[in-house]
Structure 1
Amino acid sequence: MSDAPHIPVLLRPLLEAVAPVRGVWLDGTFGAGGYTRGLLEAGADRVIGIDRDPLALEMAAKQEWGGRVDLVQGTFSELDQHADVPLDGVVLDLGVSSMQLDLAERGFSFMKDGPLDMRMSQDGPSAADLVNTAPEEQLANILYHYGEERASRRIAGAIVRARTTPITTTLQLAEIVAKCLPRPKPGQSHPATRSFQALRIAVNAEFDQLIEGLSAAERALQPGGKLAVVTFHSLEDRIVKRFFQNRAGQEAQANRYAPAVAEREPPQFTLATKRAIGPDDDELEANPRARSAKLRVAIRTNAPAGSVDAAAMAVPQLPVRRK
């Protein structure tokens, strides 16, 4: 196997948390194959690798996997449909891969000029379609609820005023956003970070995919199977934390989207990690992109899979547009 073109985040603590690794695993966000490679080396018999990005699978097909990897183009929200046996483990890495960020033509990066795309699957409406056609109120709600951008209304207004000429590139949009915010101090993130995050989430329906993927993993895992999820921002981590708390039968504090659930089904998971695991100093030095990563792991019980209320799992809900 060749070296992956990126460094898989939190791989060592993930493998420690799910040890021993054996049987059939599913990597729902295959990317460059870093987690799959780690699982195979740790003892997995076989890994089903899913990715919605055809480029990732095209690159993976050129690597030698020794007949132990089955590649599937699709979304992890349907991972239970791609599992041919009850699974011993599922891994989900919710970050945008370095491969996607580093390719300007994919339109994810505000640091490189490229078409304003952001589509992981490379089909369907793009970020440019959203930016150039969505009403101002809808754009503001996306930026606020999906990016936690406090200046959402100011930025949405600036986008609408600027799109008399279509906004088609990443740097065009980044410049519009940057003009709405104070100049960042040394060490602070780029002004467009939250806006690009919000638009990427909206374009790829990431929150819907996440809650559906967690539910699909619950259905696909056999008793004792392990679910490991790596997140990269607070909204994702909040959803995963809430899901794990709910499915482990723990009381969780009410949130602004829904009150705590009073009546619970038999727990579908036990928590393998009481708190989220973050990168240590060595990993941060080797891979600065890991600084916001958090890992949570849960173990499947023998209770039947249950239904999921997205609002109760802290999934941000966009307000209904006013007519």
Structure 2
Amino acid sequence: MAPAHPQAGSVPRGGRRPVVVSLQYLDKDAGINYLEGVISKLRDTRESLVEEPILYVKMQIATFLLEKGNQKDCKKLLEEGKTTLDSMVDVDPSVHATYYWVCSQYHKSRQDYSEFYKSALLYLAYTTVESLSEPFKQNLAFDLTLAALLGENIYNFGELLAHPIIHSLLGTQAEWIFHMLQAFNSGNLALYQEICKVHNTALSAQLALVQNERNLLEKINILCLMEIIFSRSSENRMIPMRDIAEQTKLSVEDVEYLLMKCLSARLIEGIIDQVDGVVHVSWVQPRVLGIDQVKSLRDRLDTWIGKVNTTLLSVEAETPDLVSS
């Protein structure tokens, strides 16, 4: 588990010391009472710049409430905090970071993987990775990867794969989940199955992955389908469903369901021809490309350039007078 309230970078004046003091209270209610007293004193000062430290302190109260299992009041403080943030300008990054961190932990407690993923990435947007401890980075990277795999409608892992925090998993016992994320990103069904086989013990220890095995398989099949489409040139995207079934190890009927899911989620655009058993794809959602995908794109670009040059030479040969003039 990652620390409940990471302290990183600068914090608004009047906010940090009370939060640090509150962490010394073993009784969460006593800590909350202390922080509420701090908020009252800050308001009594009638200074113009007290909203930042007050919001910062309120987020620690929300953390205590969450640790007590009081999700309702924690959510209320988060909603109030969002309204306050939206009304402020030139907000210290630490205030944004603290708000999004508590949001992420609230969604984590509710096992809302998609919302946790969004909030945790926003937390990182306002935090320098260098200010975080190595254990914290590893735990957060693991949680983010887990959320990316399990989150509903999360099919693009580009922002996470591009963030330096993900590399904190390398060289650890949790490195397998990093490679699993890469397998999903490239739609590599065979690699995913191999990782599941080799790291079965570690995977089985993650109850969320075990419980969502069927959803994971559906997601990797969707990403495999997107990779099949991407690997074809734009003029060769009339794809027989039997070809898709062969690569995904699914029946033609299941492939049809997979295509409809992709169309409804706007991962692809196209038309399914049930009579001829083909799908014509006109667009596929862009994704972060791996090395092999970039090489494939380069080869296709080289082929396209070759065709253009051939066409140009043909036109020049047929119209020599026009070229010379």
TM-score normalised by L of structure 1? 0.23
Higher helix share: 2
Greater CA radius of gyration, 1 or 2?
Answer: 2
- The higher relative CO (CA closer than 8 Å, separation ≥ 6) is in 1
